[in-house]
Structures are given as structure tokens and as C-alpha cells.
């Protein structure tokens, strides 16, 4: 037992590093008052060390720590890398955000909570036990509630935080109830033991369905799937934009990671050796229909509400709901192919969505507004930023030769290969709808106020470099994507196997 804990600690280095970083940041903040830049740099160093340990873990093996509480497999490493990369970008964004430094706000806690949220997300990706899963979700959520309300003097930000807490509390309560039912049915909290229990004993079908619906409420909240999405636009609009970007990418990635892991390990059928989704006890009930319906609702409602938005931050919030809907399509096919497509999608979504938020932030700092109307003539005032924003939006639409197209391609490929033709058709039609609202942004930037005299907006070189760092993968992964696809496919290869 003791030996096992010692062994586990050894392979728990990334998470331990994050915990230490959080402690160091608290102490530094106490000792040196109000030195946010120093904290951010400490954080970045810590994140890079975490990244180093994570890459060390990329051996292709599955290792379980603390008695299956936490699983270190290529799947969790893939997601943890994405989350870490997002966190690094967010810290860099925070360094440049005028909004955060406005009014000499103290940023010590801000950076601490980014670290704890990252830690929570790390734990979500590898959780192999319902209790661990619940704790990880709570750690992430509570950190996010505080971060969302960080602009204390702004009423919108307070509203965002409060809404987030209320929705979060209700859905996590429901999830906890679902967990307790599953524990009652199977006598275990461990995903693999739950799986074994399903295979060996008869389980009350109705209770199981009820439990899983409750679980889906919890997951649906995290990934902001319709109809659990109501918090998303308000929180995304009210929160500091760095946090909005963070929630829309990292938090969603972690939510998807645990969602897929739970369904694909607990309901994995070892007899057919495929992720058929339903075990013998569940025959006659297709989980994926529920997910397909949620997916269609999520992307359609996200896209159609986005059509009417006039605030770009809010528009991106609805668009990120729609993107969760697209990614759910990958879950629907209940196969490794679908999961790989989700991983690929997240990797490209990271760059394009963070990029879009970053530029919106920079522009808002200059012109003081996120309204699409105020973007008129921006293509002539800040050509580089406007072109970069266009590339991100094209990628979000899913047009070649950008990475977004590759993400969509793999999702639709998985659907077509498993003959979910109707879902694929709804998916592609949705991306046509999404074009319309993304184009609204191009239209204001390039098609309006062309003839006026334009005063050039200036950006400092670091901001330009960060933008390039986000644009380059968005374009390169659109034209040469074999490394990403290879990595993603290798990462799901052992999912479902102990």
C-alpha cells in the first residue's frame, strides 16, 4: 500500500508541480506586494516544468496512480498538453490585457486560481474514479467561479460569477446524485469495476438510465451543451476576456475528456472488443441517440442565436457552444475514430479560438469596445490584426486551407464512415449558417468605411509575435496535418482497455 503511494507520487510530478507553483505564487504575492508581472513569469516557468514532466510521461503506456484514482495514459496526456498550452497562452494574454491591470487590481489570486483551475482540469482528464472525477470538476469549477467574477467593480462580471455558481451548483448536485445511484447499483466508484459490475450482474435498467441522464447534466454543464448552456453567454461576456478564452477552450476540453472517458470505460464491451457503447444489459437503449439529439440542439441553437449577436465576445460565446455541438458529433459515433476526431478538433480549436479571443482583447484595449459595429474599417486601421482575425474566423467556419477544416473533416469522416449521414448533413448545414455570422465581422472590418482616412492602430512586437504563434499553426495544420492526426490517433488507441 505504502509502496504503491510512493510509486504513484513519482508519476504524479506534473500535478505536484502545479500545486507547488500555486503555493509559490501565493507566497510571492505575500512577500512582494502587487508585482503581477513577476507572478506571471513564475507561473510560466512552473508551467514549462509541468510540460517537461508531461512530455516525459509520453511513453505510450497506461499507468494508474493511487489505486486507479488517476490514470496516466496517452489520452490524458494529450488533453493535459492541450490544457497546459492553453494555460500558458492565457497567462501570456493576461500579461497584455489592459482590462486586468485597469484600476491597479491585485492579481495575485488571479494567477493562483488559474493554476488551481489548470490542476483541476488535469485531474479531470485522468480521473478513473467517480469520486475523483467529482472532486476534480469541483476544483475546476470553484476556481472558475472566482475567475469569472474577477472584475469586481463591473456589475456584469459579478452577475457572471453569480450565474455561474448557481448553474454550477445545481448541475454538480445533480451529477452527485447520479454518482450515488450508480454507486448503489454497482457497489463501486471505479470506472473499471463499474464496467465489470455491468458485465456480471443484472442492473436495474431504469435506475441506470436515470443515473446517466443526471451525469449528462453535469457533463453538459461543463461543455455547455444545450440545454445546459444558459450560463455560457452571460459568463463569457461578463468575465475578463482572458478567462472567457480559458473557459471556452481548456474547461471545455477537460469536460470532454472526462465525459468520453466515463462513457467509454464504464460502458465498454470487452466481448466485441469495440466501443460499441452499450453492454448486453443496456441493449435496446442507444445512448448515442441522446447524445446525437443534444449535439444537434447544441450546434443549431448556438449557431442560430449567434446570428443575432452584436457583441463579438458574446458572438464567440455562442459560436463556442456551436463548436461543442460539432465535437459531440464525434462522441455520437462511439468509436475510436470519433474520439480521435474530437481530439484533433480540440487541438485546432485551441489555436483558432484562443487566437480570435486574443485579437478581440487587443482591439478592445485599443478602441474600447467589443461591438461588431465598432470594427468598421478595422481592416485599414490594423491590417495585420484584421487579417489574422479573419484567418481565425475562417478556420472556425471550417474552410480550407485552415486547420478548422481538418477538424471538421475528421468529424464528418467519422460520421460518414459509421453511416450517421443525417447527422453529418445537419452538421455541414450548420457550418454554412455559422459562415453568415463570422462574415459579419469581415464585412465590418473590410467592407465598411473604406474611403475614410484611417489612423493606424499600433501593436507592440510581442503582441504581433503571439498572434503569429497562433496564426501559424492555424494555417500549417490546415495544409500538413499528419503529425497531429498521428498523435491524436495514437492517443485514443488504448482507450477503454485497462
Partner 1 sequence: MELEFLNIGILSWITFLPIIGMIIVLILPKTNWNSIRWTSALFTGIQVILAVIIFINYNRTLPGVNDINSFQFVEKVNWITVQSFPWVGKIDIDYFVGIDGLSVAMVLLTALISFIAVFASWNIDKAVKGYFALLLLLDTGMMGVFVALDFFLFYVFWEVMLLPMYFLIGIWGGPRREYAAIKFFLYTLFGSVLMLLVMLALYFSVTYVDPQTGEKVHTFNMLLMMNPAHYEPNSLLAGLHTFWRYIAYIGLFIGFAIKVPIFPFHTWLPDAHVEAPTAISVILAGVLLKMGTYGLLRISYPMFPDAMVYFAVPLAILGFINIVYGAMVAMAQTDFKKLIAYSSISHMGIVILGMSALNTQGVTGAIMQMFNHGTITAMLFLIVGVIYDRAHTRGLNEFGGLANQMPKYTGVVTVAFFAALGLPGLSGFISEAFAFLGAFQVHRWITIASTLGIVLTAAYMLWTLQRVFLGTLPEKWKTLPDINGRELFTLVPLAIIVIILGIYPSPLIDLMNSSVNHLVEFVSNGAGMSMPKP
Q: In this structure, are residues 240 and 97 in contact, taking their beta carbons and an 8 Å threshold?
A: yes
Query: How far apart are CB 208 and partner 1 at their closest, in Å?
Result: 27
429 is a site residue for partner 1 (CB under 8 A)? yes
Query: How far apart are CB 432 and partner 1 at their closest, in Å?
Result: 5
Site string for partner 1, 250-279 (x = CB under 8 A): ------------------------x-----
Return the residue of 335, 395, 463, 467 that touches partner 1, per CB under 8 A: 335
477 is a site residue for partner 1 (CB under 8 A)? no
Neighbouring C-beta atoms of residue 237, cutoff 10 Å? 21
Neighbouring C-beta atoms of residue 11, cutoff 10 Å? 17
Q: Could you tell me where the beta strands, DSSP code E, fall in 361-409?
A: none
Burial class (CB in 10 A: 0-12, 13-18, 19+), 198: buried
Selection from 240, 173, 307 nearest residue 248 by Cα: 240
Query: How far apart are CB 436 and partner 1 at their closest, in Å?
Result: 6
Query: How far apart are CB 382 and partner 1 at their closest, in Å?
Result: 14
424 is a site residue for partner 1 (CB under 8 A)? yes
480 is a site residue for partner 1 (CB under 8 A)? yes
**Rounded (5°) CA angle 41-92-462:** 105
Nearer to partner 1, 59 or 204 (CB): 59
Half-sphere exposure of 135 (CA within 13 A, CB side): 12
Site string for partner 1, 18-57 (x = CB under 8 A): ----------------------------------------
Return the residue of 38, 207, 447, 468 that touches partner 1, per CB under 8 A: 447
Residue span binding partner 1 (CB under 8 A) among the ranges 27-35, 113-121, 249-257, 423-431: 423-431
Grid coordinates standing for 273? 472488443
Which residues sit opposite 311 in a β-bridge? 371
In whole angstroms, give the CA distance from residue 397 to residue 294: 21
Query: How far apart are CB 223 and partner 1 at their closest, in Å?
Result: 24
Q: In this structure, are residues 432 and 399 in contact, taking their beta carbons and an 8 Å threshold?
A: no
Grid coordinates standing for 338? 470519433
In whole angstroms, give the CA distance from residue 262 to residue 214: 13
Spacing of C-alpha 212 from chain mean position: 22
Query: How far apart are CB 18 and partner 1 at their closest, in Å?
Result: 31
Nearer to partner 1, 67 or 483 (CB): 483
Residue span binding partner 1 (CB under 8 A) among the ranges 29-37, 74-82, 156-164, 413-421: 413-421
Return the residue of 416, 465, 468, 472 that touches partner 1, per CB under 8 A: 416
Return the residue of 417, 452, 462, 497 that touches partner 1, per CB under 8 A: 417
Spacing of C-alpha 429 from chain mean position: 24
Q: In this structure, are residues 147 and 113 in contact, taking their beta carbons and an 8 Å threshold?
A: yes
401 is a site residue for partner 1 (CB under 8 A)? yes
Sign of CA dihedral 324, 325, 331, 336: negative
Nearer to partner 1, 290 or 413 (CB): 413
Grid coordinates standing for 255? 469536460
Return the residue of 337, 350, 352, 463 that touches partner 1, per CB under 8 A: 337
**Rounded (5°) CA angle 119-123-126:** 145
Query: How far apart are CB 482 and partner 1 at their closest, in Å?
Result: 5
382 is a site residue for partner 1 (CB under 8 A)? no
Nearer to partner 1, 162 or 439 (CB): 439
The four Cα atoms 152, 153, 154, 159 give a dihedral, to 10 degrees, of 50
Nearer to partner 1, 21 or 394 (CB): 394
Residue span binding partner 1 (CB under 8 A) among the ranges 15-23, 90-98, 366-374, 432-440: 432-440
Query: How far apart are CB 446 and partner 1 at their closest, in Å?
Result: 6
486 is a site residue for partner 1 (CB under 8 A)? yes
Selection from 251, 262, 252 nearest residue 495 by Cα: 262
Nearer to partner 1, 321 or 409 (CB): 409
450 is a site residue for partner 1 (CB under 8 A)? yes
340 is a site residue for partner 1 (CB under 8 A)? yes
380 is a site residue for partner 1 (CB under 8 A)? yes
- DSSP string covering 241-256, please? HHHHHHIIIIIHHHHH
Which residues sit opposite 100 in a β-bridge? none
Which residues sit opposite 93 in a β-bridge? none
Query: How far apart are CB 417 and partner 1 at their closest, in Å?
Result: 5
472 is a site residue for partner 1 (CB under 8 A)? no
Helices (H) and strands (E) in the chain, counts: 22, 2
409 is a site residue for partner 1 (CB under 8 A)? yes
Q: In this structure, are residues 96 and 66 in contact, taking their beta carbons and an 8 Å threshold?
A: no
Max CA-CA distance within the chain?
76
Residues that bind partner 1 (CB under 8 A): 274, 335-337, 340, 380, 394, 399-401, 405, 409, 412-413, 416-417, 419, 421, 424-425, 428-429, 431-432, 435-436, 439, 442-443, 446-447, 450-451, 480-482, 485-486, 489-490, 493
Amino acid at each position: 500500500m505504502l509502496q504503491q503511494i510512493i510509486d504513484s507520487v513519482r508519476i504524479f510530478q506534473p500535478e505536484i508541480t502545479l500545486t507547488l507553483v500555486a503555493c509559490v505564487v501565493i507566497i510571492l504575492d505575500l512577500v512582494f506586494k502587487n508585482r503581477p508581472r513577476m507572478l506571471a513569469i513564475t507561473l510560466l516557468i512552473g508551467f514549462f516544468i509541468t510540460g517537461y514532466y508531461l512530455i516525459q510521461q509520453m511513453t505510450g503506456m497506461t499507468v494508474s496512480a493511487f489505486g486507479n484514482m488517476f490514470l496516466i495514459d496517452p489520452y490524458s496526456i494529450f488533453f493535459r498538453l492541450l490544457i497546459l498550452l492553453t494555460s500558458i497562452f492565457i497567462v501570456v494574454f493576461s500579461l497584455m490585457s489592459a482590462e486586468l491591470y485597469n484600476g491597479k487590481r491585485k492579481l495575485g489570486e488571479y494567477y493562483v486560481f488559474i493554476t488551481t483551475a489548470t490542476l483541476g482540469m488535469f485531474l479531470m482528464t485522468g480521473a478513473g474514479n467517480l469520486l475523483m472525477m467529482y472532486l476534480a470538476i469541483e476544483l475546476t469549477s470553484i476556481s472558475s467561479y472566482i475567475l469569472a467574477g474577477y472584475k469586481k467593480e463591473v456589475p456584469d462580471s459579478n452577475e457572471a460569477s453569480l450565474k455561474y455558481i448557481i448553474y454550477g451548483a445545481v448541475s454538480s448536485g445533480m451529477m452527485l446524485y447520479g454518482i450515488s445511484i450508480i454507486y448503489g447499483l454497482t457497489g463501486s466508484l471505479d470506472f473499471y469495476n463499474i464496467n465489470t459490475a455491468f458485465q456480471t450482474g443484472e442492473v436495474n435498467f431504469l435506475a441506470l438510465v436515470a443515473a446517466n441522464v443526471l451525469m449528462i447534466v453535469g457533463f453538459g454543464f461543463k461543455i455547455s451543451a444545450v440545454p445546459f448552456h444558459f450560463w455560457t453567454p452571460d459568463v463569457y461576456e461578463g468575465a475578463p476576456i482572458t478567462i472567457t478564452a480559458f473557459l471556452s477552450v481548456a474547461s471545455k476540453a477537460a469536460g470532454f475528456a472526462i465525459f468520453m472517458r466515463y462513457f467509454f470505460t464504464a460502458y465498454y464491451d470487452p466481448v466485441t472488443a469495440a466501443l460499441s457503447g452499450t453492454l448486453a444489459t443496456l441493449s435496446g437503449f442507444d445512448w448515442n441517440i441522446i447524445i446525437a439529439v443534444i449535439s444537434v440542439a447544441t450546434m443549431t441553437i448556438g449557431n442560430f442565436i449567434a446570428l443575432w449577436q452584436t457583441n463579438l465576445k458574446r458572438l464567440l460565446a455562442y459560436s463556442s457552444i456551436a463548436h461543442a455541438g460539432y465535437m459531440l458529433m464525434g462522441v455520437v459515433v462511439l468509436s475510436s475514430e470519433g474520439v480521435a476526431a474530437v481530439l484533433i478538433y480540440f487541438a485546432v480549436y485551441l489555436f483558432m479560438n484562443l487566437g480570435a479571443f486574443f485579437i478581440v482583447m487587443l482591439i478592445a484595449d485599443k478602441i474600447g469596445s467589443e461591438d461588431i459595429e465598432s470594427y468598421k474599417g478595422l481592416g485599414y486601421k490594423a491590417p495585420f490584426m484584421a487579417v489574422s482575425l479573419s484567418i481565425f474566423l475562417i478556420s472556425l467556419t471550417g474552410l480550407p486551407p485552415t486547420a478548422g477544416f481538418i477538424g471538421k473533416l475528421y468529424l464528418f469522416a467519422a460520421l460518414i464512415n459509421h453511416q450517421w449521414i443525417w447527422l453529418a448533413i445537419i452538421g455541414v448545414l450548420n457550418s454554412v449558417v455559422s459562415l453568415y455570422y463570422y462574415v459579419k465581422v469581415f464585412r465590418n472590418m473590410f467592407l465598411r468605411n473604406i474611403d475614410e482616412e484611417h489612423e493606424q492602430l499600433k501593436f507592440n512586437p510581442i503582441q504581433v509575435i503571439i498572434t503569429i504563434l497562433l496564426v501559424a499553426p492555424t494555417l500549417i495544420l490546415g495544409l500538413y496535418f499528419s503529425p497531429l492526426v498521428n498523435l491524436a490517433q495514437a492517443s485514443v488507441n488504448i482507450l477503454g482497455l485497462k
